[in-house]
């Protein structure tokens, strides 16, 4: 590979809804913590630097990802704020930077490369989208002429926008050159008072930068917030391994 790809893994979530004391990304899928599956995939594309954002009591995650570095999100102020914590590690990196949620362990190397390729083509942000069997309450990706115009949260979508079936997985790639400049402009004027990563699209476009999205398989972007969803990830991974 002629260009390095960096990655930020968001690993500060708690396992509360899993009814577990383990950090969420440490919950096992087929015998291995979710975050370990992600690291293994990143190693196959020789990604680096790889930095994991952990909570202040995230020693289990820190030990699991070693020798890769970690940075601490002292307060849970949203996804945009979480990625900003990686600035010190990545401040001089200008290539593609993958932002991966630690509870989505099945995204393939090919998909990570597809996202990175869009950054190499001149896009500031590339979002990983998917078309689920039931779009339900996922955020929608509004595309026009190959560009991503905006991410519309389900609760804010009009009836017409809810007809869009191309949905947001959460995972995205940034151009390292523009990433922190964009993230630092994200505000928290919303009901939760949090800094949302999805706001990066609007900020990038308002700065004259281009955004796009690539389509992944709905099974590879599956995430786990509950024990049932964790079991489903095992099913999907077993299907893939037996294919």
Give pLDDT tens digits for 65-83: 999 999 999 888 889 999 9
Task: Catalytic residue, from 17, 137, 162, 240: name it.
Answer: 17
- Least trusted range by pLDDT, from 6-20, 122-136, 191-205: 6-20
One DSSP character per residue, 36-82 reads: HHHHHHHHHTT---EEEEEETT-HHHHHHHTTS-EEEESS---HHHH
Residue-wise pLDDT for 210-234, tens only, equals 999 999 999 999 999 888 999 999 9
Is the pLDDT assigned to residue 150 strictly greater than 80? yes
Q: Which residues pair with 216 in a beta bridge?
A: 130
Tell me if residue 17 is catalytic.
yes
**Which residue, 127, 122, 128, is CA-closest to 210?**
122
Q: Is 7 exposed, middle or buried (0-12, 13-18, 19+ CB in 10 A)?
A: buried
Q: What span, in angstroms and rounded, lies between the C-alpha atoms of 156 and 191? A: 12
Which of 3.40.50.2300, 3.30.1360.40, 1.25.40.10, 3.90.550.10 is the CATH number of 6-238? 3.90.550.10
The 10 Å CB-count burial string (b at 16+, else e) for 38-48 is bbebbeebebe
What percentage of residues in the chain have a pLDDT greater than 70?
98
């Amino acid at each position: 590979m002629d260009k390095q790809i960096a990655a930020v893994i968001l690993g500060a979530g708690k396992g509360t809804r899993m009814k577990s004391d383990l950090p969420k990304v440490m919950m096992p899928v087929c015998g291995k913590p979710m975050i370990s599956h992600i690291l293994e995939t990143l190693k196959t594309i020789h990604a680096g630097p790889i930095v994991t954002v952990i909570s202040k009591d995230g020693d289990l995650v820190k030990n699991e990802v070693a020798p890769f570095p970690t940075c601490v999100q002292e307060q849970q102020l949203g996804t945009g704020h979480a990625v900003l914590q990686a600035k010190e590690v990545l401040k001089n990196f200008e290539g593609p930077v993958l932002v991966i949620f630690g509870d989505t362990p099945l995204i393939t190397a090919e998909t990570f490369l597809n996202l990175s390729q869009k950054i190499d083509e001149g896009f500031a942000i590339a979002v990983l989208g998917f078309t689920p069997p039931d779009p339900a309450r996922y955020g929608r990706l509004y595309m026009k002429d190959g560009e991503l115009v905006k991410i519309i949260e389900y609760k804010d979508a009009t009836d017409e926008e809810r007809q869009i079936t191309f949905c947001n997985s959460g995972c995205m790639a940034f151009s390292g050159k523009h990433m922190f400049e964009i993230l630092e402009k994200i505000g928290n004027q919303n009901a939760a008072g949090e800094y949302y990563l999805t706001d990066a699209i609007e900020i990038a476009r308002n700065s004259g930068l281009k955004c796009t999205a690539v389509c992944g398989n709905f099974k590879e972007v599956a995430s786990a917030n509950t024990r049932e969803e964790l079991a489903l990830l095992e099913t999907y991974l077993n299907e893939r391994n037996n294919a």
